[in-house]
Structure 1
Amino acid sequence: MTVDDAPALLRRMMEAAIAAADPATVLARHLPEKPKGRCIVIGAGKSAAAMALAVERAWPDVDLSGVVVTRYGHGVPTRRITVREASHPVPDAAGLAAAQEILRIAKSAGPDDLVLALISGGGSSLMPLPVPPLTLEDKIVVNRLLLRSGLTIEDMNRVRRRLSMIKGGGLALAAAPARLVTLAISDVPGDDSAAIASGPTVPDPTAGEDLTHLADRLRPDLPLAAREVLTAAPEPAARFDADYRMIATPKTSLEAAADVARAAGIRPVLLGDALEGEARELGIVMAGIAKSVAQHGFPAPAPAVLLSGGETTVSIGAAKPGRGGRNTEFLLSLAVASQGHKRIHAVAVDTDGIDGTEDAAGALIGPDMLKQATDLGLDAKTFLAGHDSYSLFDATGDLIRTGPTLTNVNDFRAVMIL
């Protein structure tokens, strides 16, 4: 393995991780027994349309109908299942209309029907149905507050479930008494079914918790109606059985990337699929581990690759931020902290193909990235401080643009030490 081979190998690892979560290849084997009557398909998420198409192809002889909603630009042509598109990460009127349609269809299911719920990351904002007296405008404000709050994804989902009529099991209750089977692609730490799209088909495990402390974290801009709901006396969760099947997870994607590394003679070190925290802080930590591998052969001798998944956060202060997502910010922090170490290469992407709100999935960097930036008259530390990682990597040519991948198992990070 040479330095020149590193970028291509990192790309192959990334592609293997994404392919391992492709509904076209993984969904069919998780389907339940074919129903004797109707199969009503509902769902939401960045992969919902691709999952719907996979169901149609697997069951050409089944009476299929239904509606799923996905992100703008993530739709695919289907024949029997209607695909709606809406906004992500901030909800819009199209998402509200789709949520109302999906709930109405779920309620139409009878005891002899099978309701198949296709759930993936992004479903929370794509299927907004606020609890009265909240309005869609209130939910939009809350969503924006959450995205810049620095809260963990678990706490964000606590808030989202409490403010929704469809999340936290609401969709499952609407589908009763029909048989309900959920097929899910996990994008959350620990593959928590209550967190994927905020758990529309599973009981809310935090229904009885006091969320006043989270309402306080979102002040002073939290809408009054939202604060009233979050601080009201909580009610216990509805209890019901859930047939919930994970068809793809961050762990399986990391293992697929590890197989590619082994085949190339690189030792994979799986650090976990649920790494959280500030993106720039994780970049510093990962740089330290990479330098330890290079200098001391610990926790593994080089050549090795550090593989991890999970969802970091980027907390924005009062200053107007530049352009970037959590993966490019992680990489820029890693590059600055490793000081252009000649043996360290890395890739980090959001597996849905969109890092934050930009048109890139992430970026790929090598030892010469900082020098390239300097030669262009750009100071990496200044761009990092301004949360402007996208702009820097765009200038150096290191961005990765995959377009929508139609799946989502959260972030994929690989730091290779030669």
Structure 2
Amino acid sequence: MDLRETAKSLFQTACTAADPGMALSRALNTHPLPRPDVGGAYRIVAIGKAAVPMSERLISGLKGQDFKALVVTNYENARPVNGAVVMASGHPVPDENGAKAAFAVEAMLADATPADRVIALISGGGSALLPAPVEGVTLADKAETSRLLLGAGVDISQLNLVRQALSRLKGGGLLRSAHPAPVTGYILSDVIGDDLRVIASGLTVAPAGSRAEARALLKGKGLWADLPASVKAALQKKRDETPLPPAQNLLIGSNRKSLEAMQAAAGPGAVIVSDRLEGDVADAAAKIIAAAKAQQGPGCLIFGGETTVRLQGTGLGGRNQELALRVTMGMPELGRDWVFLSGGTDGRDGPTDAAGGMVDGVTVARIIAAGGDPAALLANNDSHRALSLAGDLLISGATGTNVADVQVLLLGATP
């Protein structure tokens, strides 16, 4: 198997290790569903890119028990689920279908009783898929706020701090909607460090911070003046500070587990260099290049995380595609073959059809031969165009899971 085929195989291994149905099965073996009281039923809310396979696995094991189920996922992963209502909505940009789904979730939980058991199946993407703006804020205003934050290169924790402050359901809002029914959450993590407050913006946990902290972040990034008036007004209102109803939250899968599966599949000598590849994509590329230069002999270097891109141009791309482009442009002559792959385990990198990119020592030459200017394309944040010219886009299609991004650098032997 050549280096490119090996890299693709390892990426698939990472996605398989995060298979939502298998992860939920393992969790249910150790933490079975709590049973409803007499007269009660299950109310299942599945939210995120992995919502369909998670709900399928759960419903298949209910064996005639009473339940209602609502599944909210992205368009690419949507398909019918026996016994459930499936609603598809926009990601990464929220849309009106997501707003309708949020109202549907609230409606299903509105008459829950203490005898019922609410089961929340949560995976990455829930923040965008289930927009529920607070009173006075429109979906367009909230989307504009997210656009400003993403353009400023904020990380997922900072983005979700603001999202929670502007949402009825995030930051524990789902618990308030479900009260007085007890809530159990089975959560597939798409964030580094597995902070439950950040995954899908913390539907079943306390918020990551206060509205005052959200205001401070926005002002510190120089964004406050550009915010819609309704958003500024909402962030200056006092939040409901009554204690959240309790919930049991169980982490069932993560990026680290996928990295360990890649390492095992790669065999002896494979190394997980970092499971926290975060921050600006240019800094991440520099770390990968440094690791390549330091590697003696052939090797398999594995990384995982979620970088950020500062938007300065009008091109199309995503953090994985830009990371791959930066690595190939910055990699010195190593005197041996190498391949670098960076991909989102959900199969989609930014608003594109690609999961990421897979590059090598002649990617830049292929871009130029196809009529592209790599430096100009990078400056315009047009990594999708650059990698398309080289034939180096990583296309996987929707995977039905999401545990952030994985990277692998394969280094051949020195001639």
TM-score by length of structure 1 reads 0.91
The AA in structure 2 aligned to 1:308 is: F
Q: Does 1:364 align with 2:392?
A: no
What is aligned with 1:256? 261
1:335-346 matches, within 5 Å, as 335-339=328-332, 341=334, 342-346=336-340
Q: Contact 2:161–2:208 at 8 Å: present in 1 too? A: no
CA distance in 2, matches of 1:39, 1:255: 35
What is aligned with 1:88? 91
Displacement of 1:61 in angstroms is 3.2
The AA in structure 2 aligned to 1:170 is: G
CA distance in 2, matches of 1:7, 1:60: 45
Task: Tell me whether 11-20 or 371-380 shows the greater mean CA deviation.
Answer: 371-380
Q: Contact 1:360–1:402 at 8 Å: present in 2 too? A: yes
Q: Does 1:70 align with 2:73?
A: yes
- Pick from 9, 12, 25: which aligns with 2:9? 12
The AA in structure 1 aligned to 2:35 is: P
Q: Does 1:247 align with 2:247?
A: no
The AA in structure 2 aligned to 1:276 is: E
Cα RMSD, aligned residues only: 1.9
Runs of 4+ aligned structure 1 residues displaced above 4 Å come to 232-237
Q: Does 1:33 align with 2:27?
A: no
Q: Note the alpha carbon deviations across 1:358-383, whole angstroms, 9 max, x for none.
A: 00111212222222223333332222
What is aligned with 1:396? 390
CA distance in 2, matches of 1:340, 1:88: 39
Secondary structure of the structure 2 residue equivalent to 1:40: strand
Displacement of 1:234 in angstroms is 5.7
Displacement of 1:348 in angstroms is 0.6
Task: Tell me whether 25-34 or 4-13 shows the greater mean CA deviation.
Answer: 25-34
Q: Contact 1:41–1:116 at 8 Å: present in 2 too? A: yes
- Pick from 367, 374, 377: which aligns with 2:371? 377
- Pick from 270, 278, 281: which aligns with 1:279? 281
Q: Contact 1:353–1:403 at 8 Å: present in 2 too? A: yes
The AA in structure 2 aligned to 1:9 is: T
CA distance in 2, matches of 1:372, 1:211: 44
What is aligned with 1:151? 154
CA distance in 2, matches of 1:364, 1:208: 40
Q: Contact 1:215–1:227 at 8 Å: present in 2 too? A: no
TM-score by length of structure 2 reads 0.92
Q: Note the alpha carbon deviations across 1:251-293, whole angstroms, 9 max, x for none.
A: 000001011111xx4x222133332112133112211211111
Report % sequence identity. Answer: 35
Q: Which runs of 5+ in 2 are unaligned?
A: none
The AA in structure 2 aligned to 1:303 is: P
The AA in structure 1 aligned to 2:326 is: S
- Pick from 218, 228, 231: which aligns with 2:233? 228
Secondary structure of the structure 2 residue equivalent to 1:73: helix
Task: Tell me whether 28-37 or 42-51 shows the greater mean CA deviation.
Answer: 28-37
What is aligned with 1:22? 19
Q: Contact 1:12–1:260 at 8 Å: present in 2 too? A: no
What is aligned with 1:206? 209
Q: Does 1:315 align with 2:301?
A: no
Displacement of 1:340 in angstroms is 5.3
CA distance in 1, matches of 2:344, 2:148: 21
Q: Contact 1:364–1:399 at 8 Å: present in 2 too? A: yes
Q: Does 1:330 align with 2:323?
A: yes
Q: Contact 2:179–2:245 at 8 Å: present in 1 too? A: no
Q: Which runs of 5+ in 1 are unaligned?
A: none
What is aligned with 2:300? 305
The AA in structure 2 aligned to 1:62 is: Q
Shift in CA distance, 339/272, structure 1 to aligned 2, threshold 3 Å: closer
CA distance in 2, matches of 1:133, 1:401: 40
What is aligned with 2:137? 134
What is aligned with 2:343? 349
Q: Note the alpha carbon deviations across 1:224-262, whole angstroms, 9 max, x for none.
A: 121122244566473443211112100000001011111
* Residue-pair matches, total: 403
Task: Tell me whether 342-351 or 225-234 shows the greater mean CA deviation.
Answer: 225-234
Shift in CA distance, 311/223, structure 1 to aligned 2, threshold 3 Å: same
CA distance in 2, matches of 1:26, 1:159: 30
Q: Note the alpha carbon deviations across 1:96-115, whole angstroms, 9 max, x for none.
A: 11101101212222112111
CA distance in 2, matches of 1:28, 1:13: 23
CA distance in 2, matches of 1:88, 1:340: 39
Shift in CA distance, 365/173, structure 1 to aligned 2, threshold 3 Å: same
Q: Contact 1:280–1:333 at 8 Å: present in 2 too? A: yes
CA distance in 1, matches of 2:273, 2:217: 30
The AA in structure 1 aligned to 2:227 is: L
Q: Contact 2:115–2:181 at 8 Å: present in 1 too? A: yes
